[in-house]
Amino acid sequence: MRPADRSPARPGVGVVIVTYRSEPALRRTLPALLAELGPDDQLVVVDNASGDGTLAAAREMAPAAEVVANPTNIGFAAAANQGAALTRTEIVLLLNPDAAPAPGFGAAIRRPWEDQRGWAAWQGLVTAEEGRVVNTSGGVVHFTGIAWAGEAGVSLDAAGPTRREAGFASGACLAVTRAAWEATGGFRPGFFMYCEDVDLSLRLRLAGERVGVEPTARVDHEYEFAKGAAKWRRLEANRWRVLVGVYPTPLLVLLAPALLATELALLPAAFAAGWGRQKVEAMVEVAADLPGLLRERRAIQRTARLPVATFASWLVPELSSRYLGRIGRLRPLGALLRLYWRLVLLLLRRLSRARASA
């Protein structure tokens, strides 16, 4: 799997798998993946101090792969950056250790490049339960920064996964062109895990790039949403890292009332659900990181090429995630959110027109 002289029509793919106590998952994923790789592809496994049989399994099953053994757990985002830096292919592909490719994946994941769609990043169709249901057919981002997997839990027969653009591309199976990866610097510091794929996708979108879904490139993910209260801390802290870093200033100003209302609603809801302490810790963490986040924001906003109204058009007002429970089904709240969002978009479009005519 060493890079060779490649035809532009068939790009090399550099697969990066970040592991942490992932031996059983690797024994399922690696045989399926290796069957899909060609001589021009690379495989890099970055292990975050698993302390079990993960490293041995990776070296045994993929002897041609480059295996990196970190002495400590540096998190998914940093390890993914570390692995991507070792690849030299036209496409960087981040693949979860528990996301096993289906037959034909290797050809399908290259199609957006080969078809010259102009996508900077894209995901495959991620299934669950041995391919019976959708895990994500493309990420969805609410205007408050809450993000979730599109069509999660929907029967694959009933779902409508199509080749299209999406709010964000899932890090479970995330392909990024070399040019886009290097232009963005990969994942931002501070995202130990969770939401780094949302952040990268929105930064690409802000810079005028496109993010899509290739449904013929399928992987089956052994997914479990509930991973303890600590997950909520990281989700909330990283949601605010995305908001502070990526959202354009006019959008943040118009969303300020909604964001304040969201915090006031989330805090008691978090305590009622048993993760109130983690919510408070997330708020404290973001406040402590604010000077650094504002420096990152200035750099990110200098890359903006997309009108703010167009950027905002990829956000949604509906809280339709199955993981949000009853709140997403409250009709009065849904109507209020849609009305608020229509007003925000109207004002942003007027601002964009005014700037264009100035």
3-state secondary structure the chain: CCCCCCCCCCCCEEEEEEECCCHHHHHHHHHHHHCCCCCCCEEEEEEECCCCCHHHHHHHHCCCCEEEEECCCCCHHHHHHHHHCCCCCCEEEEECCCEEECCCHHHHCCHHHHCCCCEEEEEEEEEECCCCEEEECCEEEECCCCEEECCCCCECCCCCCCCEECCECCCCEEEEEHHHHHHHCCCCCCCCCCCHHHHHHHHHHHCCCEEEEEEEEEEEECCCCCCCHHHHHHHHHHHHHHHHHHCCHHHHHHHHHHHHHHHHHHHHHHHHHCCHHHHHHHHHHHHHHHHHHHHHHHHHHCCCCCCHHHHHCCCECCCCCHHHHHHHHCHHHHHHHHHHHHHHHHHHHHHHHHHHHC
User: Which among 340, 330, 225 has a CA at the least distance from the CA of 269?
Assistant: 330
**Rounded CA gap, 247 and 181, in Å?**
20
Same domain, 162 and 260: no
**Rounded CA gap, 202 and 295, in Å?**
18
Q: State both tokens at 60.
A: 């045994």
73 lies in some domain: yes
Query: Which of residues 192, 221, 250 is at a domain's end?
Result: 221
Same domain, 28 and 119: yes
Same domain, 330 and 255: yes
Same domain, 196 and 301: no
70 lies in some domain: yes
**Planar angle of CA 26, 125, 32, nearest 5 degrees:** 30
Same domain, 327 and 233: yes
Looking at residue 123, its pLDDT comes to 98
Same domain, 187 and 267: no
Same domain, 200 and 244: no
1 lies in some domain: no
Residue 246 identity: V
Same domain, 292 and 184: no
Query: Which of residues 221, 252, 267 is at a domain's end?
Result: 221
Listed in sequence order, the residues at least 6 apart from 24 whose beta carbon sits closer than 8 Å to its beta carbon are none
Largest CA distance in the chain: 63
Total of domains in the chain: 2
**Rounded CA gap, 16 and 93, in Å?**
6
5 lies in some domain: no
4 lies in some domain: no
Strand 210-221 versus strand 164-165 pairing type:
antiparallel
Q: For the chain, 358 residues long, give each residue's pLDDT as a single digit of tens.
A: 433 344 456 899 999 999 999 999 999 999 999 999 999 999 999 999 999 999 999 999 999 999 999 999 999 999 999 999 999 999 999 999 999 999 999 999 999 999 999 999 999 999 999 999 999 999 999 999 999 999 998 998 876 678 999 999 999 999 999 999 999 999 998 999 999 999 999 999 999 999 999 999 999 998 776 667 889 999 999 999 999 999 999 999 999 999 999 999 999 989 998 999 999 999 999 999 999 999 999 999 999 999 999 999 999 999 887 777 676 677 788 899 999 999 999 999 998 888 877 7
Looking at residue 4, its pLDDT comes to 38
- CATH number for position 80: 3.90.550.10
Same domain, 26 and 160: yes
Looking at residue 157, its pLDDT comes to 82
164 close to 139: Cβ distance less than 8 angstroms: no
* CB burial readout 178-189, b (16+ within 10 A) else e: bebbebbebbbe
21 lies in some domain: yes
Residue pLDDT, tens place only, 333-351: 889 999 999 999 999 999 8
**Rounded CA gap, 30 and 131, in Å?**
17
Q: How buried is 210 (Cβ within 10 angstroms: 0-12 exposed, 13-18 middle, 19+ buried)?
A: middle
Same domain, 174 and 30: yes
**Rounded CA gap, 332 and 319, in Å?**
12
The domain of 205 spans 13-221
Same domain, 311 and 202: no
7 lies in some domain: no
303 close to 245: Cβ distance less than 8 angstroms: no
Query: Which of residues 180, 195, 221 is at a domain's end?
Result: 221
Q: Does the global pTM surpass 0.85?
A: yes
Residue pLDDT, tens place only, 107-116: 999 999 999 9
93 lies in some domain: yes
Same domain, 126 and 196: yes
Reported as half-sphere exposure (CB side, CA atoms, 13 A), residue 59 has a value of 8
